[in-house]
Structure 1
């Protein structure tokens, strides 16, 4: 492994992206974190200001191969070759399948699955040259326990797990591990339309009687991206407080 680690986190303006970036920056004083963002940048910009010289903005449209190539070239010019990729960006647009539009289907598949394919492909070249790398793909509990109204999102995240497991076999002898995490509900990142009664009901269904703190999910990502996790690859780690 080359030192310091150079890490790209997509969706870095959101709750989990922010928590993950902060977790790396606080616990690995030598790492350099590149915050993949598109339009919303306020939280990412604040983190760059707080960790000046170690955190950097990386403009990135995750569904564009050209944008990925440009971002990875920018990282190499700023810091050196990328060796850790956290595919965290994505969104859901829920609907019953009978009324789901083609845009809802394709948009969610593009952002949650196709973008992971493009990102992994772009990141592999510098990792293969170094013969070391860590890829962590953020899937979802919906991939394992698919709710009604999320056929697009559940299909995309299940595809992320399949991609992760297949790619892990392709890169196992190259020093590159590829893993996925499947978080359940996360504090601060709950569906916007949920009422207090819905939140209480879901907590009651969860054996731990609470949702995950963002830093608890970030801790799992941090470990999977570490040198010590060298024999873990192709895993899909469930992080749901025993909900499933």
Structure 2
């Protein structure tokens, strides 16, 4: 039977604890992929008492420690790949723009959320045009508070920040409920690798599946699912990231 876990702390308390759990590890692993894994794992640990990230590794992704036991944690994000391909295209474009804007001495530090025009699509051959257009639109808005009409960005939200960062916001969407088949396939994919994880001298092995992000590619949990899981992982969890709910499936 699926067990639902929720944090009893306030949002402020959770944020402070999350910082203590992950900040030192984030300094050691600045790449975006590992940063996201560390943030997810930190959020996961908010549902437990006195558990920390002992080590950021590979095979498994993390070693946790609760004061008594060392726990191997493998991490897996579940997304809808067709939607993710579109999101990834724009995310890559915005990374290139951000890199150029960081070299622009005319701009002070800022954080800009750029709302993408709904259903708009471009080809790879449009890459240079997109980068230059987005740069021009963001710079004009940040410096002069003037929004240039364009076919890519519908609206920009800017706030003070410690560095120059931009990100695409894909607006509203109908979030899909995750299916039993998707969960089972994700578990099987990781289960095939557990022999390598068990070569480490660890007390137990857990699997963390993460859903519920902020894009069209994300899923939300279907609480009506009847899960019958066969896996060598000792525990399997689903973290619904945005809603901050943890489901213990095994």
TM-score range, shorter chain: under 0.3
> Which protein is bigger by CA-based radius of gyration?
2
TM-score normalized by the length of structure 1: 0.27
With a CA cutoff of 8 Å and minimum separation of 6, indicate the structure with the bigger relative contact order: 2
**Larger helix proportion, structure 1 or 2?**
1
TM-score normalized by the length of structure 2: 0.26
